[in-house]
Amino acid sequence: MLPRCTPVTIVGANKRGIKFRLETGVEYTWVYEKYIKADHIQYFSQFFVPQCDDVSGLPEIDQEGIRAGKAFLGMSKQGVLYAMGIPPIHQTPSLDADLWTYFLNRARRTTVRFENGFVVEIR
């Protein structure tokens, strides 16, 4: 995962994905997944935004998770969104759900369970 607010430059896009470059010169390709029903550029824009929100008002546990790019027990849903991004819609169709599933890679996934809007379990 890229740290929150990492500046990127879009290099190009085609039917397979969007290529972007970090300030270090390293390039990545965001590969379109079949399950994404939304416009791919619009979907990409949910993760890469032109300006970073100020998170200094969030609780310390949220800020710690955001810095680490992980969910921690006690974090709010908003904190997890900032730390890990929006979970894949085919696994977590609604952010109102109490169980969010993220893919760490093609073979591994993690689930974050919430109660009353706060993380109570991470598997």
The residue ranking higher by pLDDT, 104 or 24, is 24
User: Residue 99: helix, strand or coil by DSSP?
Assistant: strand
User: What is the domain count for the chain?
Assistant: 2
Measure the CA–CA gap between 41 and 37, rounded to whole angstroms.
11
Classify residue 75: in a domain, yes or no. Answer: yes
Measure the CA–CA gap between 12 and 52, rounded to whole angstroms.
22
For the ranges 1-10, 77-86, 103-112, the maximum mean pLDDT occurs at: 77-86
DSSP E strands, the chain:
8-13, 17-22, 27-31, 99-103, 109-115, 118-122
What confidence tens digit (pLDDT) does each residue in 33-72 have?
A: 777 767 777 777 877 888 888 999 999 999 999 999 899 9
Q: Tell me phi and psi for residue 27, to 5 degrees.
A: -110, 145
68 and 94 share one domain: yes
Classify residue 2: in a domain, yes or no. Answer: no
For residue 27, the enclosing domain spans 8-47
37 and 67 share one domain: no
Contact 84, 69 (CB under 8 A): yes
Classify residue 113: in a domain, yes or no. Answer: yes
Classify residue 40: in a domain, yes or no. Answer: yes
